[in-house]
Amino acid sequence: MFFDSSFLFDKDALEPHMSRETLEYHWGKHHRAYVDNLNKQIAGTELDEMTLEDVILSTYNKGNLLPPFNNAAQAWNHEFFWESMKPGGGGQPSGELLRLIERDFGSFEEFVKEFKAAAATQFGSGWAWLTYKGNTLDVGNAENPCPSEKDKKLVVVKSPNSVNPLVWNHYPLLTVDVWEHAYYLDFQNRRPDYISTFMEKLVSWEAVSSRLEAAKAKVAEKEKEEEQRQKDEEERLLPNVEMVLESDADDSDPE
């Protein structure tokens, strides 16, 4: 993968909330190093041919991380983090995103409270996320045999170090980087002030809304594929059932 050496917007554009200096270090040095190190680690391996998401999923290795995982996830997370912001951001979401936030958290204010708490309490380095969970219940069991519209919900999660909720089968919609390198130059040790500024002045709700739309479409597509898979499986088994029925008929008492 390539490090995109042009930043999304001018490096002064988020000031005074996120300084040029922070972006020069955070994007120009930290983010770049994750991408450069990943490229070195996967050069000439089968991972080199995969999408970044597939590298993350295959190196997560059920939590027993393979060496390229940290750099791959950090490359993804940072790209996603930059795209979660815009100059003149903040405010409130609208439309379907606001409707789901109100449904799943009670109110926008409650959601903000939960998101800020997750970001503030992530011990050490890590990330806080708003994600869309395609299926919150284990629908394979007898108590919850059918997924309902409510199972597809928004949740707040936090993750340590580089971990990305993709590995838990969530669809990330928004993230805030709470590694110290993200805020120390502007806020020193005042992580809660950085988080409030991010929510009130920087979040791009348009980006979050379009990610929600994409996540819902992906979940619907997966459901369709699963339905088709089940149908194909039934059809595959059907001739066997018919054969059994026929052989049962053959076993009937002779005249």
Site for Fe ion, rule CB under 5 A = 177, 179, 182
C-beta of residue 177 within 8 angstroms of C-beta of residue 78: yes
Whether 199 and 117 have beta carbons less than 8 Å apart is answered as no
Nearer to Fe ion among residue 129 and residue 179 (C-beta): 179
Closest CA to 204 of 117, 112, 83: 83
Pick between residue 133 and residue 158 the one whose CB is nearest to Fe ion: 158
Of the two residues 60 and 194, which places its CB atom closer to Fe ion in the complex?
A: 194
Q: According to the annotation, is 177 in a ligand binding site?
A: yes
- Nearest distance in Å: CB 80, Fe ion: 11
Q: In what order do the strands lie in the sheet with 170-177?
A: 153-160, 126-133, 170-177
Least distance to Fe ion from the beta carbon of 16, Å?
20
Closer Cβ to Fe ion, 104 or 177, answer by number: 177
Q: How far, in Å, CA of 118 to CA of 113, rounded? A: 9
Q: How far is the CB of 55 from Fe ion (least distance, A)?
A: 18
Secondary structure of 94-148 in HEC code, one letter for each residue: CHHHHHHHHHHHCCHHHHHHHHHHHHHHCCCCEEEEEEEECCCCCCCCCCCCCCC
**And the tokens for 42?**
């996967």
In the bound state with Fe ion, the residue whose beta carbon lies nearer, of 79 and 177, is: 177
CB of 140 to Fe ion, least distance (A): 37
26 marked ligand binding residue: yes
Smallest gap, in angstroms, from Cβ of residue 32 to Fe ion?
Answer: 11
Which residue minimizes CB distance to Fe ion? Answer: 177
Give the pair of three-digit tokens for residue 24: 């020069």
Token look-up 């089940």 returns: 230
Is 181 annotated for ligand binding?
Answer: yes
Known binding-site residue numbers for Mn(2+): 26, 78, 177, 181
Known binding-site residue numbers: 26, 78, 177, 181
